[in-house]
Structure 1
Amino acid sequence: MTTTRTPRTAPGGRVETLRLRILDEHGQARAGQDARLTQVSHTFGFGCSAFELRPEEPDEHTRLWLDLFNMATLPFYWRWFETAPGQPDTDRLLRLAEGLRGHGVRLKGHPLLWHTLAPTWLLEKDDAEVERLIRERITREATDFAGLIEQWDAINETVILPVFEAEENAVTRLAQARGRMEVVRLAFETARAADPSARLVLNDFDLSSAFEDVIEECLEAGLEIDAIGLQTHMHQGYRGEEQIAEVIERFSRFGLPLQLTETTLLSGEIMPGHIVDLNDYVVDSWPSTEEGEARQADEIERHYRTVLAQPAVESLTYWGMGDAGAWLGAPAGLVRADGTPKPSYDTLRSLIREEWWVDGHAVHADGDGVLALHGFAGEYVLELDGESIPLTIPRGGGEQELRRPRPAPRG
């Protein structure tokens, strides 16, 4: 029996098998049936921040982005989104969201609540007013973008929330007055009420046991968390396969899907290890180098293979496709400041679009009319009897039946 070729060296647990039985109009198996399988999309979220894209009239940067990623994170930092009370940047973000959805991109909003970049104008309000304004802000965004944005970081970086000292802000003040758990509850329950269909993520950069404690506290309090977000900025060097796998394994114990929400790997000088807050590292120039680009390409491949080998992970988001405007000015992009792709871009594309992709593979049914279809979970097209039939290979694979009348004899 001839079947689809299994994607080469695919991460363990990612290649699924759908046994599709082809029956004729009388319910009889169509043994020996020939067909061809072509992938349309991945279920796994190969994501990237998309703050700078132009999906309505794509420039070259946007085309490079769309050729690689299927999930976008959009910016909803409150201080920048609503610079003055009652003047949110809704229209611009709606155009961006609608444009990306038009290209089939799945969307995530980041974040609905965060102590960092909270509006400075909140500081003049008392705690009761701050709580009211938080509810209004979350309700407004979750409602305005319902049907477009399918998931949100409901609240960001809760481990440090009550003790944050980098700058005074009203959200930390509220957490100190009411308790961290009540602020987390405020974010989740308000977002859930505003858009019950949206998935809500608890996201943090602190991957120590302190974040595990926060998650346990939330679950014990009855909060409905849809996924756990794990930030993996690596400005101080690649953490290595063992450490990444250990982190994923540790957070898998909660039985919730995991998202690696903010991944960066540098193609230039590595930030010194003694820096505690990455924001404190400021240099005049931080260029990408030939040696660094080769290292980044190698680490990108190792990182993605390691992450996808862990079945609990449902998405991996790279934080900034290009060096232009990159966080902290670091050479962390997959595209240089001049717009040309680095080796890391080509490496990642070869994984997502070639090695882990099914492109027109011939399949042949056995004596029971069964086509064994192998591939990553996702959407596919089956070419059968000269027609294109859409189908889904789900996580976990499975068995399905497809009734198709036998073609009329030729001649």
Structure 2
Amino acid sequence: MSDSGLRHRMGKITLTVRGPDRRARTDAEVTVAQQRHAFGFGNIGFDFVDLVGGARPDGPAQPFGGTDQPDLDRLGELWLNLFNTATLPFYWGSYEPRRGAPDTERLTKTARWLAERGVTVKGHPLVWHTVQPSWLLGLDLDEVERLQRVRIRDLVGGFAGLIDTWDAINEAVIMPVFANGENAITPLARARGRIHLVRMAFEEARAANPAATLLINDFDLSSAYECLIEGVLEAGVRIDAIGLQTHMHQGYPGEERMTELLDRFARYGLPLHLTETTLVSGHLMPAEIEDLNDYQIPHWPSTPEGEARQAEEIVRHYRCLLAHPAVRSVNYWGLTDRGAWLGAPAGLVRADGSRKPSYDALEALIKGEWWLPATTMRTDADGKLTVEGFLGDYTVATGAGTARFTIDAAETSATVDLA
């Protein structure tokens, strides 16, 4: 609670505490406790689709993360202890492998299960050229675009109120020139341009749910992405946040390079979301590998040395991100090693379900250093007390009842009624 470099993440509120009779509780002992961070500490929720929604015997395996972990209670406890935002998979090819038969019911159950536990849910992605349904192949471009527009409206409108944040378009920089597998979206992007597809994604999603938070997201963090963002903004497309992927299978680049990266994209005045973050706890992927997907090995174990490095680097990485005022959330890509992307030991939990040092280190930040635990305080002669802490949701309680309040500004005041 004393890190001066995170003052922009903190606030202060002066509460007037009243009892059920609406009279001020003067000189009263109360318990104040934090319940949730305003900052988005996220992880993928792919694991929960089968566990909560039930297995889908006629569909393909979940790509890019997910697990056969059978214990929902144990997995849920580990996940919910740290994270308040979840990314759920809406890859077209796995969501609708057969035309007209989308995986709506299972994803709805999963999103609702998370939302009921106070988790903000994001859908990923609306438009992407990878994990495409085979039934799109052979259709003319007009029909492909029409179906893509229908998909966007159906998803964003259908899940409105339950999922109000979406990666509107994923990896548009490479989309027109992607050559690693046949798909129907790359020819569309090549023929009509990146900005056309970005506009389509954002405008269709915005029309379906005007309250939605919509991201552009990419792994290519070069000047090409900056040029695309500038072109899109100049074209009048409204972007709510910029997504930056940081899969660090080849090692943590360090705070200086990370801050330079954040500064480059913060200059657009938009919130930054670190949408896909990984740090491995085994050997590092060789530096000469350009496309991470090209590194396929039969066994990539987690090691004690790697786990110690991962724990140290995850603390450095999260401290660096929270110190930058433009960053609104960081989404880690997978809780466990089981079923992890590329088979990498990138989880915070080992394949056997035991916690790695990185889990404990992150817990010490999110629920320790950056958290206000249950604290006994006393109101003054006017029933007032001042609470200072990280931006987020809190409770104040006495024997007469409990009230909720939010710290959302540098300094503010509010009256709460116990019930």
TM-score (norm 1): 0.91
1:230-245 correspondence runs (5 A) = 230-245=244-259
Q: Distance in 1 between matches of 2:391 and 2:188?
A: 43
Task: For 1:52 and 1:28, locate their aligned partners in 2 and report how far apart those are by CA, in whole Å.
Answer: 48
Task: Render the CA deviation track for 1:314-337: whole Å, top value 9, x for unaligned.
Answer: 111000111000000000000111
Corresponding residue of 1:398: 411
Counterpart Cα distance in 2 of 1:281 and 1:259: 26
Unaligned 5+ residue runs, structure 2?
Answer: 54-70
In structure 2, the partner of 1:304 is 318
Please name the residue that 2:108 is paired with.
94
Q: Does 1:71 align with 2:71?
A: no
Q: Distance in 2 between matches of 1:123 and 1:403?
A: 58
- Superposed displacement of residue 363, structure 1: 3.2
Q: Which amino acid aligns with 1:65?
A: W
For residue 285 of structure 2, give the secondary structure of its aligned residue in structure 1: coil
Unaligned runs of 5+ in 1: 1-5, 406-411
Does residue 192 (structure 1) correspond to residue 206 (structure 2)? The answer is yes
Q: Which moved more, 1:167-176 or 1:68-77?
A: 167-176
- Match of 1:283, SS? coil
Structure 1 partner of 2:63? none
Change (3 A) 1:339 1:9: farther
- Report 1:185-334 matches (<5 A): 185-334=199-348
The answer to whether the 8 Å contact 1:81/1:88 transfers is yes
CA RMSD of aligned residues (A): 2.3
The yes-or-no answer on 1:42 pairing with 2:37 is yes
Q: Is the 8 A contact 1:107 1:148 kept in 2?
A: yes
Distance 2:285 2:417 in 1: 60
Q: How does 1:144-163 map to 2 (within 5 A)?
A: 144-163=158-177
Distance verdict in 2 for CA 1:167–1:22, change over 3 Å: same
AA aligned to 2:359 is: Y
Contact 1:10/1:356 (8 A) holds in 2 = no
Task: Report Cα offsets for 1:84-107 as digits up to 9, x if no partner.
Answer: 111111111111111111211110
Alignment size in residue pairs: 399
| Residue of structure 1 equivalent to 2:154 | 140
Structure-2 residue corresponding to 1:346: 360
**What code does the residue aligned with 2:395 have?**
V
Distance 2:404 2:370 in 1: 19
User: In the superposition, relative to structure 1, how do residues 209 and 364 fare at CA in structure 2: closer, same or farther (>3 Å)?
Assistant: farther
The alignment's TM-score, normalised by the length of structure 2, stands at: 0.89
Q: Distance in 1 between matches of 2:284 and 2:349?
A: 18
* Equivalent AA in structure 1 for residue 204 of structure 2: T
1:11 is aligned to 2:13: no
Q: Identity of paired residues, percent?
A: 54
Aligned-pair distance for 1:387?
Answer: 2.5
| Alignment-derived partner of residue 387 in structure 2 | 373
CA distance in 1 between counterparts of 2:212 and 2:234 reads 22
Conservation of the 8 A alpha-carbon contact between 1:17 and 1:397: yes
- Give me the whole-angstrom Cα distance separating, in 2, the residues matched to 1:365 and 1:10: 30
